[in-house]
A and B are shown apart, each in its own frame.
Chain A
């Protein structure tokens, strides 16, 4: 056919021409070099073989094409834009235009030529990748994924880029402007549009989740097909548009007609695919809104509690049919005239009966309201049989979460993974309680109080109809009969999970717990990798479990622990009402396929790497010992500490806390509830599970500029009560911070009343006695009162509803060495006051000379090296004093009533170096204040031992009568507002950071304005803050001014808050246990000369204060006569150091 012949001819010579262009040659040679190195580095046996990448083999073509595609998209722009320019410039092309070919044939030929050339390059690079894939011992090969990714990633991108370049070049007719426009569009995709509107604008598939599971393949084919076809069709439509506007007289009406027809078809196809892509995104948002609004209507209604649930389920392809036999109890204080349940909205209820009588029901989206035809009085029970069938709508699961991939990235290295909350397919099923696949008497989200949660401990039994070749997995003892697999859990559960798939399993019994691993065929690689310790594993597990039980002061409550492999796409969002993630279920952890998101699960590679390292360092460790180390390391990181963070561009790319076993020791076992304070369970969980924070790295890397979570929470609580805050639906991070602070406060109160040593065993016993039961907080208060004589319930009113905060002032710290008996002891005495109108508590800890380790601030911030020697990224955890079940790290808790002053005495065995005060929920920022103990006084013989608290009558003065202090928090402090926004920033709407929020000093991002920072060594009444800026020419100023009542001579002082203590910083990059060199007085290099202009009757004196030689505290600037009313001191940003810091100025009247 002449048609195809002409297209082939043009394509052949276009490709030939392009192949000979230096630009393409450079690009392809560069790409070949880079990708060969990359593939060797990532995937070959001599390379890194990063477990996250090699565990699922589809990541090989995905990674290659993902990266190559970005480069290609840019190169195509240049080549394609060059195309029409060349056609115009090269006069010899005119002889081709007079040949008998249509414009359609010519442009399609050109397009195919360029496309085929790039695809050929892709194929070459994929061949290199495949070679590595074949020779790698750690990977299987997924041949089909090579084809899929080739079609999915580069083809639509190149076609779209070509089409866009053609059209723009035809219309703009200026190559330079076209380049700029096209590059702008590419940059816009990469930096701004890639995740917006469900990846609608992401033509490069830069943020589109394309990860292919080895279990279920692509799980989001509909989105992938629509989104990629959108750009393929759009590209083709633009190519066809170019054909119609091409500057050559058309040859054939037929082909012109054909172009118009195809243009209409492709444009329509693009419109349909674009609509599908957008509507999927929009529908999800709308659906979530609908769920929230429906919940809002029902959140104040009473729900029964489900005590027993027998679920019979028939898996029918992409649907389920189920019958739930529920036993409910009205455990509220009011009678129930209707029964409310939530059920996934895609499940249709067919019938509801009670005692054989069919009941009426009404369905409002996810809510099912059953008319029982009677009233269920408080305490009474009823039974219901609910038949339902259908599929699962996953948008229902986390209705408050409008997925912003930037906030919750889910990637393997840089490869985007689709987030799924449930699977219901022919070959695989995963239904967790979060998708409400059975009726639940409660709401999945309470809009006016997102921290509220309703938990029922229910005795579940589950019967699942078996399908050929598939196994069902759930909690409890498994029994197979003719048709059904039945599960009977040994304990009541907060929810039940069902997985159906081609599972294999291994069981290990350790102590009284059965550990069952469910995995897919061929995915049990770890057995071989850890074969040396096969016999030792039970002991290791036993040890780890005992450690967990000790940490949580309670026994593991279940008889089994199932580790279930699930497709990598399974992802749970962090919730506002619990810190427990959906990956951890009662007696079950859902682990990603082949542990692919867990970097240190690559045992084989880690083994060989460490072995090599040990050989080089002459260390001797047997294979078995090394495997033990790897196993322990893995278990601790994944199930206990969750430390193994990996950061990409400062954002945590993984979420290791997802698999922690903590919830098994509280959340799945105990529940404290309160109708008055429906946040109480989340508060208890936050405190007891000892969880700190999960989410963005910069929020908890306090040492790197961000404020601590505690301080953030206290700043938030400064302006609103706990109740008000919750009703404003704050972010998950805010809620978690506030819950933790409130929990810390409450438990410190309880400990202060019960006694530090008495509380722990009592409470451990209490929660053990009440396991799998719901405990009303009022009852708990009464039980506490019965034991310790203090009912805390009345305190909760202010705790929840008041926005007043206490504020603590500490003064007169004195440490004395005294002899008690025959022994030398250390008495620390100080005065603590609370000048505010509400009571408060704070706790005290000490860093002593006998502290473990080398002067570590181990109770404040521990920047810890991972126990692993994998040389991965830095790992951090922040540990506050007095949190968790085990609060042994505090010495005393002090309760101070409104306007109360107390003298506090504490006797210590070891010499104190510093006193650490955690003010918990108070006005003090930072809340964790360190008071260095600079001097130990030798006691006189008659010195009496003082331990405890003594109420004082007078409030100690904040300042002396002869002095006037102006702090940076005071009214007399003014900062220059010089913070000019550049015209480009204005145009793009980028606002400068205004420095209103407190931070800590950052070495990396020094501000051009005066940024408030907090540190316990800075001056301040409650807020120990200062301001700092980048040094400059003296154009930025801060001024302290005050009105002095009397003329005369004044000594003027400037406050310098210095970090005088050692902070040991260790990073994960270190392979041994040696500490890095201590960074003592680390500020010294940043701060040097500070120029204070002191205004007096003599005019303005430039007084230079050398920070490096200054005292920590008040530094004298000189003696000046001041007769005028207003006195002022100005500090500019002029300095030879990198930063300038200003805090407070003191004028002291001289007699």
Chain B
């Protein structure tokens, strides 16, 4: 599924310019949308799933404007919102059945079979008859992904899916998404947790304060950071000096003082080792260093 976002702007009645002229294009596979809180990711997600109308700009799915073809989009869409905690008084399977029925699964027998299959897939079959409100946070998320998957959607939008999950649940969730991305679907994953953008994301975009600051593959993002990530071992005195001039990624106490990782355009004046950057390094380099440097902030 080819999704094109063209000149998208979202200005809320309170004047908040949540999205600023966003232009983006991506296709089948997992697409990551990364950005800090308040970057405009959720606004973009809500526009993508037709919960909100943009102030200007269009979103095209296979060349069709989703605001003009909401029904068509909704019929191929699975959506897991950022908040997915409170249910009406329905059981786990009933909620899924409700979603499946609205997703177009009209045959009751087939629908029930699909409900059970998905519950099994997300590991919730045992709590099939439990009130959905009584599931744990992780279970609710899994139920959320199950309902997003019901009806074989072509586009799956997941907004901040791992927020508040414990590490096990987070890993389990990432695995589910990875498995899904193997199929012929477009998954749009929005997150402010860099680790969620796994290597399975074919494409990604960085949003900051409503602006698109990067789009491309995760590899490209990482490549940008090559030669800009350094590891230093510092005395407490030097640590204070480094803190003033560099963006520190991590700080680990060692016997002689501190072992820190920094991003910098050039090698620092201290003894340092150049590291091979990962996506987290790349994100910090991009968001904390490069943007600040470029914008002169």
Residues of A within 8 A of B (CB): 2, 5-6, 9-10, 13, 16-17, 20-21, 86, 89-102, 248-252
Contact = CB atoms under 8 A, between A and B. Distances in A.
Interface string B44-60: 00000111110000000
Contacts of A250: 70
Main secondary structure of the interface of B (DSSP, over half): loop
Given A17-B89, A249-B52, A92 B95 contact: yes
A1052 to B, nearest CB: 78
B94 interface: yes
B79 interface: yes
B86 interface: yes
Contacts of A10: 102
B84 interface: yes
B101 interface: yes
A693 to B, nearest CB: 59
Contacts of B98: 9, 13, 96
Nearest to B81: A94
Given A5-B106, A95-B144, A249-B51, A100 B99 contact: no
B109 to A, nearest CB: 15
B187 to A, nearest CB: 15
A6 B94 contact: no
A86 B88 contact: yes
Contacts of B74: 98-101, 251
Chain A CB within 10 A, most for which of B79, B86, B88, B103: B88
B102 A100 contact: yes
B94 A89 contact: no
Contact of A95 (B70, B79, B104): B79
Given A16-B94, A91-B84, A251-B71, A97 B51 contact: yes
A89 B133 CA distance: 14
A224 to B, nearest CB: 37
B81 A95 contact: yes
Contacts of B9: none
B186 interface: no
B19 interface: no
12 contacts: A5-B106, A86-B88, A91-B83, A92-B85, A95-B81, A95-B148, A98-B77, A99-B74, A99-B99, A99-B102, A249-B70, A251-B50
A5 B148 CA distance: 20
Nearest to A96: B102
A9 B80 contact: no
Contacts of B99: 95-96, 99
Nearest to A102: B71
Chain B CB within 10 A, most for which of A95, A96, A248, A249: A95
B160 to A, nearest CB: 12
A17 B94 CA distance: 11
A99 B49 CA distance: 9
Contacts of A100: 71, 74-75, 102-104
Contact of A99 (B88, B94, B103): B103
A100 B104 CA distance: 8
Interface string B78-120: 0111011111111000110011011110100000000000000
A20 B75 contact: no
A251 B70 contact: yes
Contacts of B67: 249
Contacts of A90: 86-88
A86 B49 CA distance: 21
A10 B52 CA distance: 22
Contacts of B101: 5, 9
Interface string B181-197: 00000000000000000
A1118 B247 CA distance: 106
Nearest to A89: B86
B51 A98 contact: yes
B10 interface: no
B161 to A, nearest CB: 13
B102 A92 contact: no
A9 B84 contact: no
B215 interface: no
B88 A6 contact: no
A1098 B233 CA distance: 109
Nearest to B67: A249
B85 to A, nearest CB: 6
Contacts of B77: 98
B261 interface: no
A98 B106 CA distance: 17
A101 B86 contact: no
A92 B147 CA distance: 10
Contacts of B86: 89-92
B143 to A, nearest CB: 9
B90 A95 contact: no
Chain B CB within 10 A, most for which of A20, A86, A96: A96
Contacts of B84: 91-92, 95
A813 B77 CA distance: 105
A2 B101 CA distance: 10
B71 A252 contact: yes
Contacts of B87: 90, 92
Nearest to A97: B51
Chain A CB within 10 A, most for which of B53, B80, B83, B89: B89
Nearest to B70: A251
A9 B144 CA distance: 19
Given A92-B84, A249-B67, 9 more contacts: A13-B98, A16-B89, A17-B89, A90-B86, A92-B144, A95-B84, A98-B77, A100-B74, A251-B70
A93 B87 CA distance: 8
A226 to B, nearest CB: 38
B84 to A, nearest CB: 6
Contacts of A21: 89
B51 A91 contact: no
A13 B94 contact: yes
A252 B103 CA distance: 16
A24 to B, nearest CB: 11
A96 B96 CA distance: 10
A99 B106 CA distance: 14
Nearest to A86: B88
A98 to B, nearest CB: 4
